[in-house]
Chains A and B, each alone.
Chain A
Amino acid sequence: MGLKAYSIYKSFPSKNQIAGRIVAVDGVSIDINEGSKTLIFGPTGSGKTTLISMLAGIMKPDSGEIAYNNLILSKSNRSRISSFIVENFGYIPQQVSLIDNLNILENIIIPHIFIQEKIGELKKRAIELLRILNLDNRIYSLPVQLSGGEQKKVAFIRAIVKKPKYIFADEPFSELDNSTTEKMIEILNEENRRSVAIVISSHRYIALSGKVDVYMMQNGKITEYRENIL
């Protein structure tokens, strides 16, 4: 049971006509079981962001298939899979993208307006997570009043506050100090203990505890798979 990608391929047009298309993901197959931890590790430009965007349902592959149990995500139209993604996936983008004229709490809550849960419950959980990450005194601040690292923390909370089944994180710990990184890893480990699947892409190795599936990526392909246990 879980999310499976079979031979997915994605390319983009190159601005340089001679170069043709840029292949970002080239025939990648990956299994993400429920409750697992997955690290997609590779240098800048290896295709990690494109891969994780497709797994999170943000981008469709040009070919190949992404399926969650019997639901073929890659071939379904957006309306059909929308409610599934809204309820089950949480995404932390590399570019934070907070909404400038909303305060921190509103930035965390508003993307989840379509889920079943009540706003009051989301607010409570958001405030608790903000407290853990030392942002409880900035609840009503605007994004422009926060540092890059603080905005990253808010994007992190925004993704996990609705208790998704899958958390996709694209370079979640860049611009963060070691102590904040450790707190966020601990929060992710805690989510994982509740059977939430964690998928992280990073250009540096992340020390997640327990069993972690590590996929090394280079030039759009998976070059190595390892099972690490810490």
Chain B
Amino acid sequence: MVRKLIWMALTSLKRNVAVSWAFIVLAFALSAQIFLAEITINLLTFPEVSGIKAFFYSGIITTILLMIVMLPIISEFYYRSKSKVFYVFRIFGVSDIDIVMLYIFEIFIFTLMGSIAGVMLILILIKTNILFLPDFFRHLAVANRLNLLKISGLVILRINSAVIAFSGIYQIIKIKIRFKSISKEHSGGATWV
């Protein structure tokens, strides 16, 4: 079953390019930002310069705002792009729960790809010294591999959980609203479609 779901997600990635890549890019941007923030908090020492701190915290707030604004928009586009798929699954007897689980699994695959890419980009930039941090960011030398891997794993887990939780609940609510409005149209008895 998992192989079938992965095949389905990869097919969606090929065929539903805009929405799938929207999830990937959002997860990429969020993961990269949050990962930088996490290694800064956990491994580096902030100098006592208020401007640097303000810059740092405004970066985090921007990331959170990005998530709050973009996630509902992308979730809505995803829901609309699946409307025919939803109808076809319904006429072949698939239950709402199974349809939502399928959507959640797809979103999980896209988000995982994006968040892994985001974290890896930052890791590569740091390790190749391309990401040049000013001298006052001391202790980067102690950012050993284990710490970095642990932090990257946590970031991937958190971003994935947040996106899937939000988007999953969004799809459930939209499907329930759709089901209710169709039921009202066919009122006199519940309908499955």
Contact = CB atoms under 8 A, between A and B. Distances in A.
The answer to whether A and B interact is yes
B181 interface: no
Main SS at interface, chain A: mixed
A164 to B, nearest CB: 10
Contacts of B84: 97, 99-100
Contacts, number: 86
Nearest to B101: A114
A12 interface: yes
A149 interface: no
Interface string B60-98: 000000000000000000000000110111111111111
A11 B93 CA distance: 22
Given A11-B188, A13-B188, A59-B191, A101 B8 contact: no
Most buried by B among A58, A82, A85, A91: A82
A79 B191 contact: no
A89 B92 CA distance: 7
A194 interface: no
Contacts of A59: 186, 191-193
B94 A106 contact: no
A100 B88 CA distance: 12
Interface stretch (A60-68, A131-139, A219-227): A60-68
Given A58-B193, A60-B192, A91-B91, 10 more contacts: A10-B189, A13-B185, A60-B189, A62-B188, A90-B92, A99-B84, A106-B11, A110-B88, A111-B92, A111-B94
A110 B11 contact: yes
Interface string A110-122: 1111100001000
